[in-house]
Structure 1
Amino acid sequence: MALKEVYDYFHSYDKQTYQVVACMGNEPSEKDVKDFESQYKIKLPAEFREFTMSPLGGLYMEVREEIWPRAKQYDIGPFWSFCRGIIVYGIADEIPDFLDIRKKTKELHDDGFTDYIPFLSIVGNGDEIFCFDKDNNIVLLDYYTTGEAVPVEGTFSDCLMKQIEELEERKNMKIRGEDKSN
């Protein structure tokens, strides 16, 4: 199972470092997922379907405030120093708007990006979002600046684990003070 690495990670992640919120106990049904697919005339990749229907669907993961304080208005630093979390959009009932794949998809489609279904974004990077294209390939869509979609190799779980690893690297750089000017 390709998602095993993701599930294993979240069974043992550092709860002192990361705040993680997911739909746990409020997972969408097969009907909820099919309704979403029907609305957009798509079939989500099986791996993403499984994830979104698991307790981890609708995932928000962020480095805790005491370790990585949120930027304040007019703070200056390297771009990476503002990217302190990960969002995986979900379909759960009563999911917060900022995690709801239905709302994020509608927003993208209303902006003219009708060939994409958003599934993952980086907290602090409002320009880019990971999406499935009409063939269920993963692309990184720069929907705010250029409108370009760059192909991303791998599966949903590959993409998610890579983003978790990059978040870990950024967190370590932040702890080492690499975001400060010399």
Structure 2
Amino acid sequence: MSPDQFHDRMWEILQDINKNEFHAVAAKPPTDKAIANLATSTGIALPKDFLAFSQKTNALCIMAREELWPEAKLFDVGPAWTFHRGLVILGIEAEDLPEWANIQNAYESLVELYELTDVLPLLKIMGDGNHYWGVKQDGTFVEVFDGEATTLECSFIDTYATEIKELIQRQKDMCELITKRNKKQH
């Protein structure tokens, strides 16, 4: 798959996203220096198609709209999935890139928490700091959960498509849960 085909496929996956229920945000493209710094500091090269995507669409975040799925408040309790209201393709350092969407910061977190130095995180569920998908130094695509890296037979694109579908389902489930809660209160 060419980088352009990869980019197009990533956006095709988002066709099922309802713009009234979710919003998408991305950072500015990274500089060549930022790309080189990431490779130098981690020792892991980004896959070419992912890099080309990031140079057009850096750190793409798909998040449920606040009015439909409010962000959890401090000390809120509930099933884990109720805190997972977004999906972010991590990005390369850029002027407007938030820390939580930065590949370098996620990599450093994996190193600090789990001593996992051979995985470059590329994708994460918002609200779940223990779950990433990424690439190893040899180019193998992996899932990292609680510090354990498992090799996957599927591609980044396949995983992204699955996670977007699951995010859409979580949003529907959350709307039902909120409706039930509101009925109990009235």
Per the TM superposition, whether the score is higher than 0.5 is yes
| Superposed displacement of residue 46, structure 1 | 1.6
**Equivalent pair of 2:110/2:117 in contact (CA under 8 Å):** yes
Distance 1:39 1:76, change over 3 A: closer
Partner Cα distance (1:8, 1:159) in 2? 14
Give the conservation status (yes or no) of the 8 Å contact 1:142–1:149. yes
DSSP 3-state at the match of 1:43? coil
Per the TM alignment, residue 93 of structure 1 is displaced from its structure 2 partner at its CA by 1.7
Q: How does 1:56-75 map onto structure 2 within 5 Å? A: 56-75=57-76
Q: Does 1:177 align with 2:177?
A: yes
Which residue pairs with 1:164 in the alignment?
164
C-alpha distance in 2 between matches for 1:18 and 1:138: 27
Percent identity, aligned pairs only, is: 29
SS of residue matched to 1:136? coil
CA distance in 1, matches of 2:134, 2:13: 23
For 1:154 and 1:179, locate their aligned partners in 2 and report how far apart those are by CA, in whole Å: 36
1:7 aligns with 2:1: no
Per-residue Cα deviation, 1:36-78 (whole angstroms, up to 9, x for no partner): 2133222211221111111x21122210011111223343332
The answer to which of 71-80 and 44-53 deviates more is 71-80
The count of corresponding residues between Structure 1 and Structure 2 is 176
How far 1:10 moved relative to its partner?
4.6
Using the TM superposition, name which of 30-39 and 99-108 deviates more: 30-39
Structure 2 Cα separation of the partners of residues 150 and 29 of structure 1 = 31
2:89 equivalent in structure 1? 88
Structure 2 letter corresponding to 1:32: A
Give, in angstroms, the shift of residue 91 of structure 1: 1.0
TM-score, length of structure 1 as denominator length? 0.83
In the alignment, which residue of structure 2 is the partner of 1:114?
Answer: 117
Deviation at 1:106, TM superposition (A): 2.3
- Matches of 1:60 and 1:151 in 2, distance apart? 24
Q: Distance in 1 between matches of 2:55 and 2:43?
A: 19
Aligned-pair distance for 1:178?
Answer: 8.2
TM-score (norm 2): 0.81
Structure 2 residue runs of 5 or longer lacking an equivalent are none
For residues 73 and 81 of structure 2, the distance between their equivalents in structure 1, rounded to whole angstroms, comes to: 15
Would the alpha carbon gap of residues 50 and 72 (structure 1) be closer, same or farther in structure 2, given more than 3 Å must change? same
| Contact 1:3–1:157 under 8 Å retained in 2 | no
Deviates more, 1:39-48 or 1:117-126: 39-48
**Paired residue type of 2:134:** C
Normalized per residue, the structure richer in helix is 2
* Structure 2 Cα separation of the partners of residues 30 and 77 of structure 1: 43
Among candidates 132, 137, 144, match of residue 134 of structure 1: 137
Following TM superposition, by how much is the alpha carbon of 1:7 offset from its aligned partner in structure 2, in angstroms?
Answer: 1.9
Instruction: Give the CA deviation at 1:12.
Output: 7.7
Pick aligned residue for 2:48 from 46, 49, 61: 46
The change in CA–CA distance for 1:119 and 1:11 in structure 2 (over 3 A counts) is: same
| 2:122 alignment partner, SS class | strand
CA gap 1:13/1:170 in 2 versus in 1, 3 angstroms? closer
Local SS of the residue matching 2:165: helix
